[in-house]
Amino acid sequence: MQWLDFVSNVITTTVTTGGLLALALFLGRAWLLERLKGSIKHEYEDKLEKLKANLKAEGEKQLAQLKSEIDQQAEKLKIAAVSFSDVQRATISRKIEAIDHIWSAVRRARGAIPGAIHIADVLTADELLNMDANTAMRPLLEQLRGLKPMDIAPKLFEDADVARPHVGEVVWALYCAYFGIIIRCLYLLQGDARGTNRCWFRDATVLRMVEGAFGESALAEFEKLDIQRLSWLQRQFEQHLFSAFDKLLTGKAFSEAALAQAMEIEKIVAEVKASQGA
């Protein structure tokens, strides 16, 4: 019986000690894990705070650099805008002066056109062809024969070309075409021995200039006229001229077709001047 008690006590003591030891190990392990977790968390939080601080400092630095660059670009744009505005104002001012110069040249040129051709403008083709046989037409005929186109031509242009760099080729071509037709008209109205040349509106060069300046449909309309062809040409010229002035002042670009047309007109006018010894 005593032996059994002894064994029972030993077993009880061993179990109790083992349990206590296991409990101590478990508690120690839990404590160690908590310490380790706390240490890692603290280290992580410390590093995270440092990273946040570094990122904030770097971000503020980059933001300051970006703001500085934006301010510099804004200042450059401001200077450029002021410069562009000054240039634009100067350009518009020169265009206005050039337009005024061209229009003054148009009015001055009108005054240089002999009144005889305005009288001839109300005559039909048959009346022009039969002027030599009509005694009532003799005073007008003498005036037409006395025309000196080469003396009048310089008065139609004078210093109009001063405005050419600022009004451009389209406006200049219109000017040259219209007054080129006038010069051709003056030349042909003098007539030849048979008087056939007086029908200036049938002249191939005149028709080319009319089409070049005002277009194919305008040429068709021109060819159907019986009288007042010069008056019709003046209206066409002024309409196209004012339209070109409007484009210049509003900054609209002329089409490639319009520029090519202008070059063709100038070519025709040059041919006319060469053929007439201008």
* 3 pLDDT tier (thresholds 50, 70, 90): low
Residue 221 class from Cβ within 10 Å (0-12 exposed, 13-18 middle, 19+ buried)?
middle
Closest among 221, 255, 226, 258 to 236, alpha carbons compared: 221
Among 52-56, 107-111, 197-201, the range scoring the smallest mean pLDDT is 52-56
Tokens 């805008």, residue located: 81
Query: Is the model's pLDDT at 187 over the cut of 80?
Result: yes
Tell me the whole-structure pTM to 2 decimals. Answer: 0.66
Q: Buried (b) or exposed (e) across 252-276, using 16+ Cβ within 10 A?
A: eebeeebeebbebbbebbeebeeee
Mean per-residue pLDDT, 188-200: 77
CA distances from 149 to 58, 84, 112, 188 (A): 83, 46, 11, 10
- Cα–Cα distance measured from residue 158 to residue 266, given in angstroms and rounded to the nearest whole number: 17
Residues 255/189, Cβ–Cβ less than 8 Å = no
pLDDT, tens digit, for every residue of 54-107? 767 776 777 677 677 666 665 665 654 454 466 567 778 888 999 999 999 999
Read off the pLDDT of residues 22-55 as tens digits, 9 standing for 90 and up: 666 666 676 767 777 777 667 767 776 776 677 6
Domain coordinates in residue numbering, the chain:
1-92, 113-275
Structure-model confidence comparison of residues 69 and 144, the more confident one: 144
The pLDDT mean for the chain works out to 81
